[in-house]
């Protein structure tokens, strides 16, 4: 009897051993935090943080941008630092233009307690962006950083963590996107208005908007009814200004998340940024800032977890004017024809001296005041040698569905 039990026991032992050994796996080292960087959120949710270039003592302001295929430095900043870039035949493209760029090679960028080397900065002029956001924009950080590290953006705490590549356990209560990540991040989403349509969109935290769609996509998809009200609007991007149209779509959905009545810009994609029909447009940071996000390019992961801003109201106010901060002075840069500001008599190049009894010359507070729908606005402006007062009420672009 003893001999008869030997074989089955041996077979059972080897079966269990094989099953246990099959669970062994060689894995990378766990990801660890290398630096924690505080940041500020600008209009539209755009993230700006500070870092030092090479051995220069002063910190510079950089915008984080998943819509950037590299890393860049403002041309005026490079000049002020005495840096001379090398010409190249490389061209960069944005919604408002295409430019040939020069490069600064093998540079270093220092964050708190951590330095990144071997960075190749292309040079671009961000004077226009500085005037739009009201802060000096010294550069834009894109794929060159995101591709090397795991980047965690915590909008609740206004902190970015730069982490080493490696194994990571994502927090519970979120959702893992598996977008197409090359130099840029492309994710799937669906839009619903006159009809529902699914498409690919650029995941762009450097865009201070909710959604931007190309005219070709809107036309071919018949997403909107032919008689949909469109409001003229000035947009900003590489190359400067671009004329757009503003509306509201019924629904945006990606993963398990839905957003109702989303402000949406429509633009003529003259420079083929969206490579239509590959992309329908982009999803910007006025949507994405509503999540704490982990970017793990090496694994093709983007993890989203709703944060405290998830249910923030959208900005439905429409005045028809745009403001810029130029040499410390708030200037009206554009007034859309037929808009409330236009009908009130305001003009481009008017200098703003006060808004709603606020004479503190605070550019950001002026911008925020214009984001309240159906509110009366009083402007005190200087036009050449005259002091003028104008009043109008902002409109609400939200459609009644």
Alpha-carbon distance values, 312 to 67, 262, 289 (Å): 24, 12, 10
Q: Give yes or no: residues 337 and 297 share one domain.
A: no
Q: Give yes or no: residues 91 and 191 share one domain.
A: no
pLDDT of 361 reads: 73
pLDDT tens digits, one per residue of 297-330: 999 999 999 999 999 999 999 999 999 999 899 9
pLDDT of residue 12 exceeding 50, the answer is no
- Secondary structure of residue 397 in the 3-state scheme: coil
pLDDT of 26 reads: 73
Closest CA relative to residue 158, chosen from 47, 64, 63, 51: 47
Q: Give yes or no: residues 96 and 146 share one domain.
A: yes
pLDDT band at 201 (very low <50, low <70, confident <90, very high): very high
Does residue 20 form part of some domain?
no
pLDDT of residue 239 exceeding 90, the answer is no
Q: Give yes or no: residues 390 and 327 share one domain.
A: yes
pLDDT of 19 reads: 52
Q: How far apart are CA 63 and CA 141, in angstroms?
A: 6
Average the pLDDT over 75-90 and give the result.
94
Does residue 140 form part of some domain?
yes
pLDDT tens digits, one per residue of 111-133: 999 999 999 999 999 998 999 99
pLDDT tens digits, one per residue of 153-162: 999 999 999 9
Does residue 253 form part of some domain?
yes
- Domain endpoint, select from 115, 133, 163: 163
pLDDT of 272 reads: 82
pLDDT of residue 16 exceeding 80, the answer is no
pLDDT band at 237 (very low <50, low <70, confident <90, very high): low
Look at the alpha carbons of 371, 124, 274, 177 in this order and tell me if their dihedral is positive or negative: negative
| φ, ψ (nearest 5 deg) of residue 253 | -140, 135
How many residues are there in the chain?
Answer: 401
Q: How far apart are CA 110 and CA 240, in angstroms?
A: 29
pLDDT of residue 97 exceeding 80, the answer is no
DSSP string, 58-79: S-EEEEE-TT-SSEEEEHHHHH
Q: Give yes or no: residues 294 and 333 share one domain.
A: no
Share of the chain above pLDDT 90, in %: 77
- Domain endpoint, select from 105, 139, 163: 163
Look at the alpha carbons of 263, 267, 273, 274 in this order and tell me if their dihedral is positive or negative: positive
Domain span including residue 246: 175-306
pLDDT of 250 reads: 96
pLDDT of residue 363 exceeding 60, the answer is yes
Q: Give yes or no: residues 83 and 109 share one domain.
A: yes
DSSP string, 162-220: EE-SSB--PPTT-EEE--EESSSEEEEEEEESSSEEEEEEEE-TTS-SSEEEEHHHHHH
Q: How far apart are CA 46 and CA 8, in angstroms?
A: 67
Q: Mean pLDDT: which of 5-9, 86-90, 317-321 is highest?
A: 317-321
Q: Give yes or no: residues 201 and 181 share one domain.
A: yes
Q: How far apart are CA 269 and CA 327, in angstroms?
A: 31
pLDDT of residue 15 exceeding 80, the answer is no
- Domain endpoint, select from 115, 140, 163: 163
Average the pLDDT over 14-32 and give the result.
66
CATH number of the domain at 229, please. Answer: 2.40.70.10
pLDDT band at 4 (very low <50, low <70, confident <90, very high): very low
pLDDT band at 227 (very low <50, low <70, confident <90, very high): confident
Q: How far apart are CA 376 and CA 355, in angstroms?
A: 11
Q: How far apart are CA 328 and CA 31, in angstroms?
A: 43
Provide the mean pLDDT of the chain: 90
pLDDT band at 3 (very low <50, low <70, confident <90, very high): very low
Does residue 19 form part of some domain?
no
Q: Give yes or no: residues 43 and 117 share one domain.
A: yes
Q: Give yes or no: residues 125 and 84 share one domain.
A: yes
CA 108 to chain centre: 24
Please tell me the least confidently modeled range out of 113-117, 220-224, 239-243, 317-321. 239-243
Closest CA relative to residue 240, chosen from 166, 152, 333, 134: 333
CATH number of the domain at 369, please. Answer: 2.30.42.10
Does residue 23 form part of some domain?
no
């Amino acid at each position: 009897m003893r001999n008869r039990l030997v074989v089955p026991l041996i077979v059972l032992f080897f079966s269990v051993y094989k099953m246990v050994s099959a669970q062994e796996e060689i894995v990378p080292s766990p990801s660890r935090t290398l630096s924690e960087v505080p940041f500020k959120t600008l209009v539209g949710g755009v993230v700006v943080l500070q870092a030092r270039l090479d051995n220069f003592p002063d910190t510079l302001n950089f915008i984080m941008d998943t819509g950037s295929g590299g890393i860049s430095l403002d041309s005026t900043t490079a000049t002020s630092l005495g840096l001379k870039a090398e010409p190249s035949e490389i061209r960069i493209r944005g919604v408002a233009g295409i430019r040939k760029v020069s490069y600064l090679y093998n540079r270093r960028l220092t964050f708190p307690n951590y330095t990144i080397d071997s960075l190749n900065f292309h040079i671009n002029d961000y004077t226009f962006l500085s005037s739009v956001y009201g802060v000096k924009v010294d550069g834009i950080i894109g794929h060159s950083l995101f591709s090397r590290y795991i980047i965690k953006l915590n909008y609740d705490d206004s902190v970015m963590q730069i982490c080493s590549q490696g194994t990571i356990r994502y927090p519970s209560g979120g959702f893992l996107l598996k977008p197409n990540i090359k130099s840029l991040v492309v994710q799937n989403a669906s839009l619903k208005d006159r009809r529902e349509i699914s498409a690919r969109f650029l995941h762009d935290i450097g865009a201070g908007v909710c959604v931007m769609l190309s005219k070709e996509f809107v036309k071919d998809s018949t997403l909107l009814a032919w008689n949909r009200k469109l409001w003229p609007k000035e947009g900003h991007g590489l190359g400067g200004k671009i004329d757009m149209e503003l509306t509201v779509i019924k629904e945006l959905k990606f993963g398990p998340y839905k957003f109702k009545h989303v402000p949406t810009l429509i633009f003529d994609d003259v420079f083929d940024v969206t490579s239509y029909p590959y992309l329908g447009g982009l999803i910007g940071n006025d949507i994405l800032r509503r999540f704490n996000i982990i970017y793990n390019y090496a694994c093709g992961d983007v993890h989203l977890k709703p944060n405290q801003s998830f249910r923030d109201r959208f900005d439905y106010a429409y005045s028809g004017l745009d403001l810029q901060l130029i040499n410390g002075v708030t200037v009206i840069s554009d007034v859309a024809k037929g808009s409330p500001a236009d009908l009130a008599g305001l003009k481009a190049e008017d200098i703003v001296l006060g808004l709603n009894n606020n004479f503190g010359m605070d550019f950001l507070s002026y911008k925020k005041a214009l984001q309240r729908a159906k509110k009366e606005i009083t402007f005190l402006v200087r036009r050449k040698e005259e002091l003028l007062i104008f009043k109008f009420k902002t409109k609400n672009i939200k459609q009644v569905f």
